[in-house]
């Protein structure tokens, strides 16, 4: 209120702001028993201003930059991912003998950038020298959501400073590159995830995809060769086992492998045709599609090439799972 009081007013305790309460204070301060119309209007205006203030929620105004400074402290912590990636994938100073020969990391929020300061430090007793390195990195404020959460923090063994996804397997990004010694720089381009789960970096998206596709072809060829080699080795073992069985008598096979399980699938895996296998089952096994090698040989079926192959596959499968 803009009323000029001529008498002291006692401070009320938890006053409820109404016209009656404020007018009583005004009469006390003015030394009047009754307010004139202008003074009464001033009191009513003060009550109305108070009501308007109560309708507006109180908004806490944070200190400017407080969140960003806290985020910077989190990102540059020695237990954080950026510090660990630097020590895992880059050549940085570390020494057990010289205390100051270490890497000091500072992270700032901003466009991807790097600044390096290095100093020569000495052991306090011996003429040993080392390097004290100060690295200042700038990363965007959404680094944890756009880079770390996407699994790109150390994609391809490089520290990713920023990333914007442009396809399911591609990002426009910036990453940290180390030259000779402690020479660091930031490169901009694209990161593509190859089908084998690795990452390819290049200045252009086309080149990054070409690297990823080439890597996928090499990986697929290695897998094909591995499976081909394993298949050839398995076939050689089966042939050797089949030759061994062909030299054994029926009783000898039962004594050595009688308890080995055998089924319709073993015959099909041996290369026998489905119709021929079912014909054999109906003729010799009374329709049974599974049993043991003893059950098969007890049927009295001749030990021909097809039966020996099926028994060899069953024995090899049992040996692989044992």
**In this structure, what token pair is assigned to residue 118?**
């290095």
CB 158 within 8 A of CB 176: yes
Q: Give the pLDDT of residue 228.
A: 84
Three-class SS state of 135: strand
Q: Give the pLDDT of residue 144.
A: 94
Q: Give the pLDDT of residue 159.
A: 96
**Would you write out the chain's pLDDT as a tens digit for each of its 322 residues?**
566 776 676 666 566 778 888 788 888 877 788 888 888 888 888 888 888 877 766 565 555 678 888 999 999 998 899 999 999 999 988 766 676 778 899 999 999 999 999 887 777 777 778 788 899 999 999 999 999 999 999 999 999 999 999 999 999 999 999 998 899 999 999 999 988 888 999 999 999 999 888 887 877 777 788 888 888 888 888 889 889 998 999 899 999 999 999 999 998 988 888 888 888 888 888 888 899 999 989 888 888 888 898 999 999 888 744 3
- HSE, CB side, 13 Å, CA atoms: give it for residue 248: 18
Looking only at Cα atoms, what is the longest distance across the chain? 131
pTM above 0.85, yes or no: no
Distance CA 174, CA 99 (A): 33
């Amino acid at each position: 209120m803009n009323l000029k009081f001529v008498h002291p007013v006692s401070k009320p305790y938890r006053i409820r702001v109404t016209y009656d309460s404020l007018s009583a204070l005004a009469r006390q301060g003015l030394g009047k028993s009754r307010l004139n119309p202008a003074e009464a209007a001033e009191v009513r205006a003060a009550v109305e201003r108070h009501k308007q203030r109560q309708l507006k929620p109180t908004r806490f105004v944070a200190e400017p930059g407080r969140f960003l400074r806290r985020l910077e402290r989190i990102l540059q912590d020695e237990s954080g991912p950026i510090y660990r990636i630097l020590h895992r994938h880059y050549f940085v100073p570390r020494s057990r003998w010289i205390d100051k020969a270490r890497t000091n990391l500072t992270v700032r929020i901003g466009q991807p950038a790097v600044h390096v300061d290095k100093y020569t430090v000495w052991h306090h007793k011996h003429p040993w020298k080392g390097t004290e390195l100060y690295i200042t990195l700038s990363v965007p404020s959404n680094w944890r959501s756009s880079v770390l959460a996407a699994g790109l923090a150390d994609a391809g063994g490089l520290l990713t400073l920023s990333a914007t996804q442009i396809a399911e397997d591609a990002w426009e990004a910036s990453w940290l590159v180390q030259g000779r010694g402690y020479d660091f720089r930031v490169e901009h381009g694209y990161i593509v995830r190859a089908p084998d789960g690795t990452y390819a970096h290049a200045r252009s998206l086309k080149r990054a995809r070409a690297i990823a596709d080439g890597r996928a072809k090499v990986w697929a060829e290695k897998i094909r060769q591995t499976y081909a080699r394993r298949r050839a080795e398995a076939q050689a073992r089966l042939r050797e086992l089949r030759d061994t069985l062909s030299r054994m008598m029926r009783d000898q096979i039962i004594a050595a492998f009688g308890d080995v399980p055998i089924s319709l699938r073993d015959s099909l895996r041996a290369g026998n045709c489905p119709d021929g296998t079912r014909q054999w089952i109906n003729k010799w096994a009374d329709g049974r599609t599974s049993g043991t090698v003893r059950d098969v040989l007890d049927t009295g079926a001749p030990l021909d090439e097809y039966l020996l192959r099926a028994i060899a596959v069953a024995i090899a499968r049992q040996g692989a799972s044992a």
